[in-house]
């Protein structure tokens, strides 16, 4: 199946890939693209929502629920696919980190073996503090 590459789609993917360590709501993506001087073709907000939905279905980006549970966040897949590994988020700076496939596989396998529980990787984000922010956290 061929995927039609509009200029708006290319601009959206470019924006997300340049910010692949972050996750955004659809509104934040639309606003960020309007303010980004590198974006020459800015899609309207409704187009951003439509493109994000389509790109998620195609597996080009990942979608998950914000910690507060009322909004979806979207993130480029720096790893090429949303399967096979876990994601970490720093609660201080918001940075997203892709955990290595080997580390993720061990953790997921251990959880499955010990608890007979299958983790939904697409919906799972481990929250904590990144190395850059842990110094500001009181122990």
pLDDT tens figures, 66-92 = 766 678 889 887 655 445 678 787 877
Alpha helices in 59-100 (DSSP H): none
pLDDT by residue (tens digit) across 24-82? 999 999 999 999 999 998 899 999 999 999 998 887 888 888 766 678 889 887 655 44
Domain-embedded: residue 81: no
Number of domains the chain is built from: 2
The burial of 1, by beta-carbon neighbours within 10 Å (0-12 exposed, 13-18 middle, 19 or more buried), is given as: exposed
Q: Is the pLDDT of residue 95 over 60?
A: yes
pLDDT value, residue 2? 39
Three-point CA angle 123, 82, 91, nearest 5°:
55
CATH number for the domain spanning 99: value is 3.30.1490
Same domain, yes or no: 116 and 61: no
Q: 75 has which bridge partners? A: 62
Percent of residues in the chain assigned helix, strand, coil, to nearest 5: 40, 15, 45
Domain boundary among 32, 49, 76: 76
Rounded distance between C-alpha atoms, residue 100 and residue 119, angstroms? 16
Write out the residue range of the structural domain in which residue 19 sits: 7-76
Beta 96-98 vs 87-90: how paired, if at all? Answer: antiparallel
pLDDT value, residue 99? 82
Domain-embedded: residue 2: no
Domain-embedded: residue 82: no
């Amino acid at each position: 199946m061929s995927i039609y590459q509009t200029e708006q789609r290319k601009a959206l993917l470019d924006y997300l890939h340049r910010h692949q360590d972050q996750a955004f709501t659809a509104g934040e993506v639309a606003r960020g693209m309007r303010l980004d001087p590198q974006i020459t073709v800015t899609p309207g907000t409704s187009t951003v929502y439509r493109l994000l939905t389509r790109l998620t279905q195609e597996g080009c980006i990942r979608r998950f629920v914000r910690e507060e549970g009322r909004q979806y966040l979207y993130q480029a897949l720096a790893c090429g696919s949303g399967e096979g590994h876990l994601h970490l988020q720093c609660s201080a700076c918001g940075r997203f980190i892709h955990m290595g496939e080997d580390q993720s596989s061990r953790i997921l396998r251990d959880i499955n073996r010990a608890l007979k529980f299958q983790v939904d990787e697409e919906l799972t984000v481990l929250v904590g503090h990144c190395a850059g922010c842990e110094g500001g956290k009181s122990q």
